[in-house]
């Protein structure tokens, strides 16, 4: 184990002990432990929760008196592992046959819009979050990026990306975006395509990306549209005139959604449009362009099946600047 890891664990253990002592003191002094403090303590003692803000301890003391700084007491989240459904053999087999994987970016109908949101990449250090087969990672290098690092939680996806890439300036890293840490100011462009709906803690990830980008850099990503993924059973419903409708329900009830797509129980995380935009703003980004995928008339002419995408937006596309 690296010395830095040792230091970090020792720091966390000392925080745990100090938190415990503080809790006992507060309980003895005040008779009761605030519920939020209990959640902080239980999260603190959870073996997977080793990363605790250094300034947390002084905050705990505030709970004893009336000067509670409630906004600072969001409960510490359990850092759970992502589902990693792309390493499920059935899922991976089905997903690999999609046009956007067999044909790459030419098979992704939203790509012409996304491409228009990407800034000049000349000389930039780019990251691709949830890079999958690496289609965009390679495109970014072909379009001027000095280097690209793709991150993905799936060993299947990373293995395929590595096999399809012959470029020493691109590397691929297996990493879970729920826990990803990135060095400060280490990149000049951040991209992600159709991955963030798998991420539960989007606020943490947004702050991580913001810290990793240099000032003025762009963050462009696509995500399943909340109108597309809100419903309990998302599927087309046809009325007597043959008009297709996509149900929207539980829109304001954010959180886990389970769907059957190539495998049973694929876990995604629904957030309203407002939450996604406000999360970026709270992380420090300026939102510069928002688009919702709808095929052009030409695309529908060439591929009539795309016409149903005019009924509701499936993909949300956002360009934000640090
Ligand atoms: C729909 S695919 C998109 C792949 C690629 N960006 C593209 O557009 O072709 C979603 C990708 O996100 C990855 N992914 C899902 N959850 C993740 C997580 N928590 N951390 C890192 N990658 C994740 C999956 O393994 C998968 O490769």
Per-residue pLDDT band at 87 (split at 50, 70, 90): confident
Instruction: Provide the mean pLDDT of the chain.
Output: 82
3-state percent breakdown (helix, strand, coil) of the chain, nearest 5: 40, 20, 40
Q: What is the pLDDT of residues 281-320, one digit of tens each?
A: 999 999 999 999 999 999 999 999 999 999 999 999 999 9
Per-residue pLDDT band at 4 (split at 50, 70, 90): low
Q: What is the pLDDT of residues 88-137, one digit of tens each?
A: 888 888 888 887 788 889 899 999 999 999 999 999 999 999 999 999 99
Ligand 1 mean position, distance from CA 149 (Å):
14
Q: The dihedral of CA 185, 187, 193, 194: what is its sign?
A: negative
239 exposed, middle or buried (CB, 10 Å; 0-12, 13-18, 19+)? exposed
Residue 266's SS3 state is strand
Cβ-based neighbours of 309, under 8 Å, separated by 6 or more: 109, 293, 294, 295
Ligand 1 mean position, distance from CA 261 (Å):
15
CA distance 26 to 21: 9
Q: What is the pLDDT of residues 150-168, one digit of tens each?
A: 999 999 999 999 999 999 9
Burial track 39-74 (b if 16+ CB lie within 10 A, e otherwise):
ebbebbeeeebbebeeebeebbebbbeeeeeeeebe
Helix-then-strand count for the chain, H and E: 12, 11
| Residue ID of nearest Cα to ligand 1 atom 26 | 132
Q: Choose which residue among 195, 256, 315 to substitute to test ligand 1 binding: the one with the highest number of ligand atoms within 8 A of its C-beta.
A: 195
Ligand 1 mean position, distance from CA 119 (Å):
22
Q: DSSP code of 304?
A: G
Burial track 95-121 (b if 16+ CB lie within 10 A, e otherwise):
beeeebbeebbeebbbbebbeebbeeb
> Is the confidence at residue 25, as pLDDT, over 90?
no
CA distance 195 to 150: 12
Ligand 1 mean position, distance from CA 132 (Å):
5
CATH architecture classification, 85-321: 3-Layer(aba) Sandwich (3.40)
| Residue ID of nearest Cα to ligand 1 atom 8 | 193
Ligand 1 mean position, distance from CA 227 (Å):
20
CA distance 297 to 304: 10
Per-residue pLDDT band at 5 (split at 50, 70, 90): low
> Is the confidence at residue 51, as pLDDT, over 70?
no
As for ligand 1, residues whose beta carbon falls within 6 Å of it are 82, 86, 100, 130-133, 135, 151-154, 157, 176-178, 193-195, 198-199
Q: What is the pLDDT of residues 272-281, one digit of tens each?
A: 999 999 999 9
Ligand 1 mean position, distance from CA 127 (Å):
13
Q: What is the pLDDT of residues 52-82, one digit of tens each?
A: 333 333 333 333 333 333 333 444 556 667 8
CB 196 within 8 A of CB 205: yes
Q: Choose which residue among 81, 86, 314 to substitute to test ligand 1 binding: the one with the highest number of ligand atoms within 8 A of its C-beta.
A: 86
Q: What is the pLDDT of residues 10-21, one digit of tens each?
A: 555 555 455 555
Q: Considering just the CA atoms, what is the radius of gyration of the chain in Å?
A: 22
> Is the confidence at residue 45, as pLDDT, over 90?
no
Delimiting residues of CATH 3.40.50.150 domain(s) in the chain: 85-321
> Is the confidence at residue 9, as pLDDT, over 70?
no
| Residue ID of nearest Cα to ligand 1 atom 27 | 132
Question: Which pLDDT score, from 0 to 100, does residue 83 have?
Answer: 76
> In the chain, what percentage of residues exceed pLDDT 90?
64
Ligand 1 mean position, distance from CA 17 (Å):
38
Q: What is the pLDDT of residues 183-225, one digit of tens each?
A: 999 999 999 999 999 999 999 999 999 999 999 999 999 999 9
């Amino acid at each position: 184990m690296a010395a830095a890891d040792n230091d970090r664990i020792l720091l966390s253990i000392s925080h745990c002990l100090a938190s415990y002592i503080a809790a006992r003191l507060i309980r003895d002094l005040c008779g009761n432990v605030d519920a939020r403090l209990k959640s902080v303590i239980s999260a603190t003692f959870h073996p997977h929760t080793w990363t605790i803000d250094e300034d947390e301890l002084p905050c705990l003391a505030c709970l004893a008196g009336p000067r509670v700084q409630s906004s600072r007491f969001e409960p510490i989240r359990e850092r759970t592992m992502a589902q990693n459904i792309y390493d499920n053999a059935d899922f991976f087999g089905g997903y690999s046959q999609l046009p956007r994987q067999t044909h790459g970016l030419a098979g992704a109908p939203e790509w012409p819009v996304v491409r228009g949101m990407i800034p000049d990449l000349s000389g930039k250090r780019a990251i691709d979050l949830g890079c999958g087969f690496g289609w965009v990672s390679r495109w970014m290098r072909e379009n001027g990026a000095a280097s690209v690092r793709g991150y993905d939680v799936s060993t299947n996806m990373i293995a395929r990306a590595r096999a399809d890439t012959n470029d020493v300036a691109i590397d691929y890293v297996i990493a879970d975006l729920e826990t990803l840490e990135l060095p400060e100011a280490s990149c000049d462009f951040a991209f992600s395509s159709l991955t963030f709906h798998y991420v539960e803690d989007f606020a943490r990830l947004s702050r991580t990306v913001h810290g990793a980008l240099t000032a003025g850099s762009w963050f462009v990503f696509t995500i399943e549209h909340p109108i597309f993924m809100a419903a309990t059973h998302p599927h087309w419903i046809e009325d007597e005139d043959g008009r297709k409708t996509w149900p929207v329900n539980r829109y304001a009830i954010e959180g886990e959604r389970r769907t059957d797509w190539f495998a049973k129980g694929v876990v995604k995380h629904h957030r309203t449009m407002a939450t996604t935009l406000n999360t970026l703003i709270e992380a420090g980004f300026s939102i510069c362009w928002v688009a919702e995928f709808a095929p052009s008339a030409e695309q529908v002419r060439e591929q009539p099946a795309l016409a149903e995408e005019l009924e509701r937006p499936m993909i949300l596309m956002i360009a934000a600047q640090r």
